[in-house]
Structure 1
Amino acid sequence: MRSSRLLSILMLLQWRGRLSATVLAREFEVSVRTIYRDVDALSASGVPVYAERGRQGGITLHKGYRTRLTGLTPGEAESLPLAGIATVAHDLGVGVEAAAAQFKLMASLPAEAGEGVLRIARRFHIDPLPWYHRAEAPDCLPELAKAVWREHRIRIDYESWQNHAPRELAPLGLVLKGGLWYLVASSGGKRPYSYRVSSIRSLEVLDTHFQRPNDFELATHWPAAVAAFERRLLKEMATVRLSEEGCRILRAVSPLAAEQVQASSRPCAREGWIEAEMPIETPEYSARQLLRLGAEVEVLAPASLRRALVHEAQAVLAHYR
């Protein structure tokens, strides 16, 4: 572990130049004292590294020094696709390996190319979460990731909205969508199904292996599964009237429904409003979603959705009488 950290420190100094002991300690999750001991060990092994004191000081390599020790360990090579996605790598339990792989890759680049990559990293950041959302990182995720990678069968206790039951699965892949982790797995040779990882109440990784289907590609499967899921849920249509403000709110809460409304919109007698078709789920669920639009929407059909809206609105009103 220490030898790997020493090499990673060397790569990082070669990539980013002078760094303080505090920054290095935070990067490798060790104490400042440990960093100084590591620097002494590097120096004793012949690496021209030294510490400069003062406000502008730090730990740095002798100008012009570059190491050729940029070989990746098996663990670092496996985590290489996640090297630029720190939070994902950390959630999956390979954060240290991913960071080390990134350092080594950057150190192996010519100085000009490395500086260009560093400029991008400092100027662009990807945050896939909507506002007011938090990413999930279930405790079982690292073990689940290992089972996916090593092709071990798993036994889970899974709580869905329909029931709570044990399942034995062949884990085929993990997907991070909107800050939520999903497991794609098959059971008994059936088609792959998606499971929300935070709904797994217990996980047991079995000793038995499974044969991964040769024709299964996660990147191809997932978009098709998402489209099928949306079609399965949004299989009914409602006729609605929406104000301009209602359309704006709808775009924020349900872009898919807003897209359908835009495509089917037509003028209506009420000034500033449109009439359109909107995809919906069950009347009970859709009523609660549509109440988020307040008085900026009016449902014309179906009658079941109108009744569900009246029932839900009366229940809310009863709380405030």
Structure 2
Amino acid sequence: MKQTGEIVIYQSGQDAPTIQVLLENDTLWLDQYQISELFGTDRTSIVRHIRNIYKTSELDEKATCAKITQVQQEGERTVKRLIKIYNLDLIISVGYRVNSKQGTAFRIWANKIIKDHLVKGYTINEKRLLELQKTIKLVNRTIQSLGSDDQTKGIFEVLSEFSTALDILDDYDHQRLGLSDTPIQATFRISYKEAKHAVDELKKRFGGSSLFGNEKDQSFRGSISAIDQTFDGKELYRSLEEKAAHLLYFVVKNHSFSDGNKRIAAWLFIWYLEKNKSLYYPDGTKRISESTLVALTLLIAESKPEEKEMMINVIVNLINRT
């Protein structure tokens, strides 16, 4: 068994030794040395009790025993050893033989730890499922509003990619995936002057219409200043993903221009990622495809205010998927 689970600490009393317990596959695991330390007896006795438990078929060895690789540094050598570990059922059976009081205390603690772990995992998955369901409702509402084949294709691409992002996050939470949880750090601080210049450049592409990019009020300036805003000396949006997502959302939703709000929002989103050297993956592929960007912009436009957090999460996950 590859050790990928969570390590929790058990201590029976204030002066008792602390024991590192492996939480894996909805049960707890200890090796022979840890079991002997847990019950305050020698390893030889523990080995004898384990043999008797398996010999009398009280428990099935395959179901209660696994092997993991233990890596130790011995001088200048790195030594790998395959050691046996035993689950909670076996640990409790041994406890009843050598120290029933300690065994009972450990069982009570272990059951609580496992229950808390299961409840936490269920809550996380339930929240993600609810978020995906909200996304599907918004997708359906947007498709009914638009009805364009190309736009519909892009929207379903968002839904598909977001579902994949949730699967990736679930794998990471359960340590089934070697995924870095380090967010991308923004290196470029956006300013109103530079953003306005980017809008003017886009305006030239659309023929220089007097309405396109014409600010109706101060809301665009507010959208830009919100990206790097701080609270209590700390940035409110601490990652590039969050900042880019909020930039796209704010510019779409604030309707700051007489014409071209969605096009300007999508353009600034790409421009901002490029300024932060994060528009492409290391292999040269785009983080966000053109059809996905169009779909995201339309989904934001159709979304309700209470769906803001869900939309931000969709964008963040799509930017940072691997």
TM-score range, shorter chain: under 0.3
Flag the structure with higher helix content.
Answer: 2
- Which TM-score applies when normalising by structure 1? 0.23
Flag the structure with higher strand content.
Answer: 1
- Which TM-score applies when normalising by structure 2? 0.23
